[in-house]
Amino acid sequence: MKFKNLKKNIYIFYFIFIFLFAQTAGYAQPLTTTRQPFFPEFETDFVRPERTESLKNQYNEILRKYYNKGKFDITIAELTKTLNDFPNDIKDDVYFTLAKCYYKIDDTPKSFRFLQNILLEFPRSKLISNGSLEKTILNIIKIETDKTANFTFIFSIKLYHLLRNINASKNTLNTAERYISRRLNDKIKIPFNLEKMRITDYENFKISVVNQIWDVFFPSDFWMREAFILTNMVSLTQIENSFNYYAKDIIVKLIIKDVFNVQSIRYIGYGLIETTPEEFFKSLNLKLSNFLNENTDLFQYKDEL
């Protein structure tokens, strides 16, 4: 009997020793452990309900403290900190707020990007179905076409195409076209000084002259100029017609001899052209409707933001 108790005690001591050794060596898990996720790749993307509610409250607080008080720069800074974290049921509204903020600080490229992203990412957004996006875009076109300076057709035309893509009402499209049409009779003065160019290729010279007028309405340094490249939108015949219309008073033909007495013909342009957008478009056999209704590459431009 004593031998059995001794044997039992030895076994107990042995198991206690093994357990303690395993704890020390790190083989046994501590009694209190943190649960490891079974599918960490899914749990990483999971946003807990309390986190979602917190982000919604944060958004409303940003609107109250900054946006409603006209602090658009701060609103942008605060919203972009957690832009990718906002839940989808308010993210379209966050985009909408950012679009309006960027427009308020005259950053039209980013303003347009966020307006467009509402359509691209949330085509069933309430902002589209309830007409809020349509109304805002139309209002921006009105503000743009009311400008007394720094007006270009690019932004307004691009917004018009966005209206078409959100299936804006015919009345809205007609109103937008009417707003843009008001700028067709603006008097534009374009000084020419192509003296240093002296292009020997007369065909390229024609393009250079017409393109200088084109750039007044579709500036080459603007954010989506790629959609309005002259030679992509009109034929060489149209360019020649426009050149002939404007060139008679500003183009000088020069006959030059070099040091070897070799004669060549060069052309320079010098003077002032006074015209209107409508007159210029007409010289190219274009109307505003060509920009609004035809399937141009308006959305196929490089995003340089």
pLDDT digits (tens, 9 = 90+) for 84-128: 999 999 999 999 999 999 999 999 889 999 999 999 999 999 999
**CB-based contacts of 84: which residues, under 8 Å, 6+ apart?**
none
Cα–Cα distance between 276 and 180 in angstroms, integer? 14
pLDDT-derived band at 302 (thresholds 50, 70, 90) equals very low
Joined together, the tokens standing for residue 13 give 């001591």
pLDDT of residue 229: 79
Task: Report pLDDT for 15.
Answer: 59
Shortest CA distance to 104 belongs to which of 57, 134, 139, 132?
139
Average pLDDT, rounded, for the chain: 79
Half-sphere exposure of 134 (CA within 13 A, CB side): 19
* Confidence class for position 150, pLDDT limits 50, 70, 90: confident
Q: Strands 263-275, 188-193: parallel, antiparallel or unpaired by DSSP?
A: antiparallel
Q: Which residues, in sequence order, are bridge partners of residue 275?
A: 188
What pLDDT sits at residue 67? 96
Could you identify the residue written with the tokens 């307006």? 115
Specify which residues 265 forms β-bridges with: 255
Q: What are the E-state strand segments in 96-243?
A: 188-193
Give the tens place of pLDDT for each residue, 22-32. Answer: 555 444 444 44
Banded pLDDT at 196 (limits 50, 70, 90): low
Is residue 232 very low, low, confident or very high in pLDDT (cuts 50, 70, 90)? confident
Q: CA–CA separation, 191 vs 221, rounded Å?
A: 18
Asked whether residue 218 carries a pLDDT value surpassing 80, the answer given is yes
72 pLDDT band (50/70/90 cuts)? very high
Q: Which residues of 117-127 are buried (b: 16+ CB within 10 A; e: fewer)?
A: bbbeebeebeb
**Percent above pLDDT 90 for the chain:** 46
**pLDDT at 47 > cutoff 90:** no
Report the distance separating Cα 62 and Cα 98, nearest Å: 12
Is 80 exceeded by the pLDDT of residue 44? no
pLDDT band with cut points at 50, 70 and 90 for residue 130? very high
Tell me the per-residue pLDDT of 9-21, one tens digit each, with 9 for 90 and over: 555 665 565 655 5
In angstroms, rounded to a whole number, what is the distance separating the alpha carbons of residues 230 and 42? 50
Q: For residue 140, what pLDDT is reported?
A: 97
- CA distances for 228 relative to 3, 75, 296, angstroms: 102, 33, 9
**Is the pLDDT at 274 greater than 60, yes or no?**
yes
- Looking at residue 20, what is its pLDDT? 58
